[in-house]
Amino acid sequence: MTTARPAREAPTKLVMMIVSDTDDEALMYALVQSGYSATKVGSTGGFLRRGSVTIYCGVAAAEVDAVVAMVREICRARREFVPIPAALAEEGGFTAEPIEVRTGGAIVFVLDIDRFERL
């Protein structure tokens, strides 16, 4: 027997989260388990050219803090050592020793929604 989730208010905020592709599955699972609809779009970016994911989630204004708390808990920043790409090492005169960089974490934007329609 399944129980229907209570209907949520129409979204008034769009939470746009850019997260590491190592954290996206856990975050999507947490969002869906909490009753939020979310859309995931693959992306790449930054210095390391590692995979990232942009997740869009429309929520009521009162739910923004709960969604951001999920992101904060799941998408923790961490430090790791990565090799410098050979081209950078040769051009910049750097050694090819790995460097410590910050990875993970998230960038979160909260935007107002002027209009929402579910078609």
Query: Which CATH topology does 13-112 take?
Result: Alpha-Beta Plaits (3.30.70)
Show pLDDT as tens, one digit a residue, over the chain (119 residues). Answer: 555 455 678 899 999 999 988 899 999 999 999 999 999 998 776 555 567 899 999 999 999 999 999 999 999 887 767 676 655 555 555 556 777 666 678 999 999 999 988 88
Residue 98: its pLDDT value, please? 72
Give the DSSP per-residue string, 53-100: EEEEEEE-GGGHHHHHHHHHHHS-EEEEEEPPPHHHHHHHT--S--EE
Q: Kindly list the domain boundaries of the chain, sorted by start residue.
A: 13-112
Answer for the pair 36, 17: CB distance below 8 angstroms, yes or no.
no
Q: Which residues are CB-contacts of 107 (< 8 A; sequence separation ≥ 6)?
A: 17, 18
Helices (H) and strands (E) in the chain, counts: 3, 6
